Each structure stands twice: as structure tokens, then as C-alpha cells.
Amino acid sequence: MATISPYLTFNGNCEQAFNYYKSVFGGEFASVMRFKDAPPMPGNELDPKYNNLIMNMSLPISKDIALMGSDGHPMYDKVPFGKNVTLSVVVDSKEQADKVFAGLSKNGIIAMPIADVFWGSYFGMTEDQFGINWMVSYEYPKK
């Protein structure tokens, strides 16, 4: 079975963002690789001031899904954050939906407060403090 691992690219604050997401979802990082951990590329040396930026990071948030991310490579222009990136999180209970939504909404912008919706879910949309759009839902059991 295939799973989707959303991948987020940041402009130097990937580690800060992932520590925040870890505080929301819990768990431990499955991997953390910094630019300094990559083998040297002759002719493409990286300024040592970028050594501690994140090259790749992974945070499992369920048995099937890992949130992945990195800082944009410093040799290229800043990564523009598009408002077209939305991550959908489906949780196991209404209480968990409230907890995750509250955590992601902290210092962010709520686009749609979490509430019961006509399609039979408990659902909300928010933009977190890092500019990432999220949909949080709990699917009520079918009758």
C-alpha cells in the first residue's frame, strides 16, 4: 500500500518548524540530516555558515505517514511559500482533532474553525505560524 509523505521546504527555519510540529503530534524524529552531513561536492562547496541547516528531516505522525522537510539549498534563491500547499490530517477522535487543530492554529490564522460539517465529519482549516495550510478532520463512524 502506498502512503503519502508531505514534504515541506523552509528558508532556514526547518528545525524550528519541525520542533513545533513534534510538540503538536508527539513522537521522535526518524531522521535529521544537516547539510554538513552530506559528502563534499568538489566545485560546489557550501559556505560553512550553512552547515547546520536541515538537508532532510522526518517526523512520523502515524504508522503510515511521515512529515518530511528541509531548508532550501543556500546556493539557490529563497523558496517561495505557495498558498497552494495544504496538508490533510485525519485523526482517530474528536478530542484528538481539537488538540491537533489548537496546536496548529496557535499563532496562526484560522480559515475555518473546527466544527461538524455537512459531509459527516468534524473539520477545520488553519494556516500555522509558518505559513503552512492544514485541514484537520475526524471522520464520524458510518451508521
* CATH tag for 86-139 (out of 3.40.50.970, 3.10.180.10, 2.40.50.60, 3.40.50.9100): 3.10.180.10
Q: Between 44 and 67, where is the model more confident?
A: 67
The yes-or-no verdict on residue 64 having pLDDT over 80 is yes
Distances (CA, A) of 75 to 29, 72, 94: 26, 9, 44
Sorted by sequence, the CB contacts under 8 Å of residue 122 that are 6+ apart come out as 94, 97, 114, 115, 116, 137, 138, 140
Instruction: pLDDT band for 1, please (50, 70, 90 cuts).
Output: very low
* 12-62 residue pLDDT tens: 999 999 999 999 999 999 999 998 888 777 777 778 888 899 989 999 998
- All cell numbers assigned to 64: 503510515
Q: Quickly state the pLDDT bin for 3 (edges 50, 70, 90).
A: low
Q: Which three cell numbers stand for residue 141?
A: 463512524
Higher pLDDT among residues 140 and 83, named by residue: 140
Domain boundaries, the chain: 7-71, 86-139
User: Which residues, 6+ apart, have CB-to-CB distance to 109 below 8 Å?
Assistant: 126, 127
| pLDDT tens sequence across 76-132 | 777 776 655 678 888 889 999 999 999 999 999 999 999 999 888 999 989 999 988
- The helix/strand count (H/E) of the chain reads as 2, 8
Q: State the amino acid at position 118 in one-letter form.
A: F
What pLDDT is attached to residue 78?
79
> For the whole prediction, is pTM greater than 0.95?
no
User: What CATH number was assigned to the domain covering residues 7-71?
Assistant: 3.30.720.100
* Higher pLDDT pick, 135 / 5: 135
- Closest residue by Cα to residue 77 from 6, 8, 9: 9
Three cell numbers, residue 14: 526547518
Residues paired with 96 in a beta bridge: none
Q: Which amino acid is at 114?
A: I
**For position 27, what pLDDT does the model report?**
95
The answer to whether domain 7-71 and domain 86-139 are alike in fold is no
Q: Is residue 69's pLDDT more than 70?
A: yes
